[in-house]
Amino acid sequence: MRLYAFLSQVLTFADADLEKLYVFARHLRRLLPPDRAELPREVQQNIDMESYRIQQTGSGKITLERKPSVLDPISTKGALRTAPEELEALSRILAELNERFGLNLGPEHRVTLGQMMDRLDADPALDASARVNTRENVRLTFDQKVEHIIQEIVDSNFDLYKRITDDRDFGEVIKNMLFDQYLRAHRQDVISR
């Protein structure tokens, strides 16, 4: 599946049955249970399972009043939560794309765009560029970073990847929107330059 996804971007295929088989296999893979006999190679390389241990870190009782109320979950240290304004911005981006291009982008596309924004937010070189450069110079760095991130979504959201790479206008609009959102979040004074 990965090989076909890559090759379909590089070569032109005229075999519609092969494309149908790829789409079917991609959806079927999600339904098949993972092989639990052996850990993936990446896990084996990055985690020393021999020294892993289970340790109780706390215990206690949770007392609840007998009335209707909301129970907030216990958060972990350093839990990352998406800010409400970020969700609103991503929803606004999707709504504008749907209206402008007549699409039906949904929650799975919002998740992918959120992951793309998280990757851009976590990039220290892009952050440094946004702090000291003009909008045009930040855009040069941003375009390189976003192209790399778009290549990485081929496995997680192939439909969005294909739409961005095949439809030049759609790709430019989405990159512009992501860039504007990035600048709003990282560098308010770059917008005013």
Q: Is residue 62 part of a domain?
A: no
Q: b/e string for 111-134 if b means 16 or more Cβ within 10 A? A: ebbeebbebbeebeebeebbeebe
> Domain check: are 21 and 106 in the same one?
no
Predicted confidence at residue 56, as pLDDT, reads 82
> Domain check: are 193 and 110 in the same one?
yes
Calculate the average pLDDT of the chain. 77
Number of domains in the chain: 2
Range of the domain at 180: 83-193
> Domain check: are 26 and 88 in the same one?
no
Predicted confidence at residue 38, as pLDDT, reads 64
Q: Tell me the mean pLDDT in the region 38-45.
A: 64
Q: Determine the Cα–Cα distance for residues 129 and 141; give it in Å rounded to an integer.
A: 7
103 within 8 A of 111, measured Cβ to Cβ? no
Q: Tell me the mean pLDDT in the region 139-161.
A: 86
> Domain check: are 98 and 182 in the same one?
yes
Predicted confidence at residue 189, as pLDDT, reads 39
168-193 confidence digits (pLDDT tens): 888 898 888 889 888 887 755 344 44
Q: Is residue 67 part of a domain?
A: no
